[in-house]
Amino acid sequence: MIHWPVASPSHIATWFIVVAATAAVIIRPNKWPEAVWAGAGALALLACGLLPIAAALQAVLEGWDVYLFLAGMMLLSELARREGLFDTLAGWAVRHAEGSARRLFALVYGIGVVVTTFMSNDATAVVLTPAVYVVAKKAGAKPLPYLFACAFIANAASFVLPISNPANLVVFGEHMPPLLAWMRAFALPSVAAVVVTWGALAFLFRAELASPVDAPTHVPPLSDTGRLAAVGIVAVVLAMLAASALGFPLGAPTLLATLMAIAAVQATRREAPWALLQHVSWSVLALVAGLFVLVAGLGQTGLVASLTDALREHAHAAPRTTAWSAGAIVAFAGNLMNNLPAGLIAGTAANSGPMPDDVRSAIAIGIDLGPNLSVTGSLATILWLVALRREGEHVSAWQFLRVGMVAMPLALVAALACL
């Protein structure tokens, strides 16, 4: 028998603050940064006496590995962008497309798979997208299919490896599987999600991909520091994979290896790193910290404990059915509240006691893949929209939903079926 928390005045106030703060993170009233609203919600919980300061500090400190990982990946992405690595990759795709829009689409999609797998989904959504837009325009191609490819593969390939999406760290926390165990669990679901998403996008954009494109032969060359940055990125990826294989937390190795790569490039350029650091969206760290506090507030109301009991009870009675249900529920819930808070809540519930591996894996798939339904599903998709607006391109929520309502459910079913 599951005991849901009693709706006391303090609980109702906490739920209201958390829901309001989460909605503001997604809507961004007055176009203020997401971190402002997450922080405002956290401070409101403290000011109203709904969450002890000690509990808030503990919640913030529990996310240290996520902060380090995010910092490392944001710095690495900015290094790659500044040194022109993504421009070179996009130019290579256009040259090898040989005038075929379908081949260009497949190459862009494949590059997105590689970037997401080894550099995280944010790099694909935020940094690869502008480069793809520029080369698509130069090739005379209709840019929308290629832009959607960047957004959708950023989520569809984000559980190929533990390092492919920061949400993986949020969902698994201290229960992160070692690399080989991860690959055994997620290899087939990842292939299914990537292939089905590609098929859905290729079908939905078949008209746009029917026209030929120009075939320029020029590929932006890499400078000496660009090649050094590429070597540094490979070294960072190897360090992350080694840490994952050994079962170590990913944050510290990621940040340390990234700082070493940046130091090597900056020393070669004979420049201080301040300009590089200024282009990183450090407010993302404050956003995640604020979300940790909001979820801790929910924990004080007993809601997370009740969800844990419900999940555990159903998993014991019917583990396979629970895996399917949990994956589907969090996939759609992530679009209502963004997948980071959804991942924090679901991950806390799944990691609070013994839980079948399939259930925890299904939750990760739902959190990672679910954002392909709508523009509110993940921070990466929101940042993707911002990147498009900077290029003068606009994608409405309805345009995204029309594609997502076909691609996401098909890929989700395929991935869960392969667990």
**Residue 334 corresponds to which tokens in the numbers above?**
């992530």
Question: What is the domain extent for residue 193?
Answer: 10-417
Q: What is the pLDDT of residue 215?
A: 74
Nearest Cα neighbor of 116 from 141, 98, 89 is 89
* 114 half-sphere exposure, CB direction, 13 A CA radius: 11
Structural domain contains residue 1: no
Which residue is listed with tokens 């869960």?
Answer: 416
Q: What is the pLDDT of residue 385?
A: 85
For residues 168-204, b (16+ Cβ closer than 10 Å) or e, as one string?
bbbbbbeebbebeebbebbeebbebbbebbbebbbeb
Structural domain contains residue 3: no
- Written as tens digits, the pLDDT of the chain (419 aa) is 556 666 788 999 999 999 999 888 878 898 888 889 999 999 999 999 999 999 999 999 988 999 999 999 999 999 999 999 988 988 888 888 888 999 999 999 999 999 999 999 988 988 899 989 988 888 888 899 999 999 999 999 999 999 999 999 988 988 889 999 999 999 999 999 999 999 999 999 999 999 888 876 677 888 999 999 999 999 999 999 999 999 899 999 999 999 999 999 999 999 999 999 998 889 889 988 998 999 899 889 888 788 888 888 888 888 899 999 999 999 998 888 788 888 888 888 888 777 888 999 999 999 999 999 998 888 788 878 878 887 888 888 899 999 999 999 999 999 999 98
Structural domain contains residue 4: no
Structural domain contains residue 216: yes
Structural domain contains residue 88: yes
C-alpha span between 392 and 347 (Å, rounded)? 38
Structural domain contains residue 5: no
Q: What is the pLDDT of residue 277?
A: 93
C-alpha span between 278 and 150 (Å, rounded)? 25
Structural domain contains residue 356: yes
Structural domain contains residue 413: yes
Domain count, the chain: 1
Q: What is the pLDDT of residue 3?
A: 60
Contact yes or no for 182/152 (Cβ under 8 A): no
